[in-house]
């Protein structure tokens, strides 16, 4: 919009300048030989006028938000909970095997469990990874409860919800405050893979 206003303004100024340069002021017309008919008429040899137009080019380095797709799903690295098998493969997941004739509804590859219906349902974090609150393999049950006040005991340790789409599963060998975390998984709130896969 600013560029269009600049261009319109430049054309208007140039046109006004041409009109001022090529016309004879009214007072000069009235005093030259008494009538407008006696004024000299421009001939074809007159110098053509030049119009200057200003064009401004603007480089857009940050496109408007409407054009930027942000993926806010929970995940680790390039993999996110809920990614379809196709999205996961495009993100670099290798080794998806859907069994004979591709009949399986759920499969595992690398550190994930993925279903045809809900996409990635589980991502097992590497042993040296830590959550955003500093919990990793070797942290205690007490550490988890302190970092995640909504942590609850479940079948193999503790679980906590991060949002409506999923949360962490902290595997332990017991529920005492001094027991250690032995594995951390991101798990989707929607699953159809067998519990063993999760």
What average pLDDT does the chain have? Answer: 78
* pLDDT exceeds 60 at position 139: yes
CA 59 to centroid of chain Cα atoms: 19
Mean pLDDT within 129-134:
95
Q: Report all structural domains of the chain as residue ranges with CATH numbers, in order of start.
A: 1-58 (no CATH), 75-197 (2.60.460)
Q: Per mean pLDDT, which range of 57-71, 100-114, 183-197 is the poorest?
A: 57-71
Strand order in the sheet with 157-163: 106-109, 112-115, 119-124, 181-188, 166-172, 157-163, 152-154
Confidence of residue 27 (pLDDT cuts 50, 70, 90): very low
* pLDDT exceeds 70 at position 15: no
d(CA 78, CA 50): 58
d(CA 175, CA 145): 11
Mean pLDDT within 53-69:
58
pTM for this prediction:
0.64
Query: Which residues, at least 6 apart from 91, have a Cβ–Cβ distance to it below 8 Å?
Result: 78, 79, 80, 83
Alpha carbon separation from 4 to 16, 53, 141, 142 (Å, rounded): 18, 11, 64, 64
* pLDDT exceeds 90 at position 147: yes
Look at 82 and 195; give whichever has higher pLDDT: 82
* pLDDT exceeds 90 at position 34: no
* pLDDT exceeds 50 at position 94: yes
Helix (H, G, I), strand (E, B) or coil at 172: strand
Q: Which of 108, 83, 111 is nearest to 96 (CA)?
A: 108
Confidence of residue 71 (pLDDT cuts 50, 70, 90): confident
Q: pLDDT of 113-131, one tens digit each? A: 999 999 999 999 999 999 9
Mean pLDDT within 4-30:
48
* pLDDT, position 60: 57
- Of 14-23, 65-74, 94-103, the range with the highest mean pLDDT is 94-103
């Amino acid at each position: 919009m600013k560029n269009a206003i600049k261009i319109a303004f430049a054309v208007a100024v140039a046109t006004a300048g041409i009109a001022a340069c090529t016309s004879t002021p009214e007072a000069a017309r009235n005093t030259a030989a008494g009538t407008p008919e006696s004024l000299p008429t421009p001939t074809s040899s007159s110098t053509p006028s030049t119009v200057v137009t200003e064009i401004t080019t603007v480089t857009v380095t940050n496109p408007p938000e409407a054009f930027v797709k942000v993926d806010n799903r929970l995940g680790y690295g390039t993999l996110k909970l809920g990614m379809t098998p196709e999205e996961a493969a495009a993100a670099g997941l290798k080794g998806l095997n859907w069994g004979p004739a591709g009949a399986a509804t759920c499969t595992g590859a690398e550190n994930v469990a993925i279903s045809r219906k809900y996409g990635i349902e589980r991502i097992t974090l590497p042993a040296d990874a830590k959550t955003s609150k500093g919990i990793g393999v070797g942290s205690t049950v007490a550490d988890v409860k302190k970092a995640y006040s909504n942590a609850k005991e479940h079948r193999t340790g503790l679980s906590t919800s991060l949002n409506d789409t999923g949360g962490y599963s902290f595997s332990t060998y017991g529920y005492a405050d001094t027991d250690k975390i032995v594995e951390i998984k991101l798990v989707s709130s929607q699953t159809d893979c067998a519990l063993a896969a999760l």
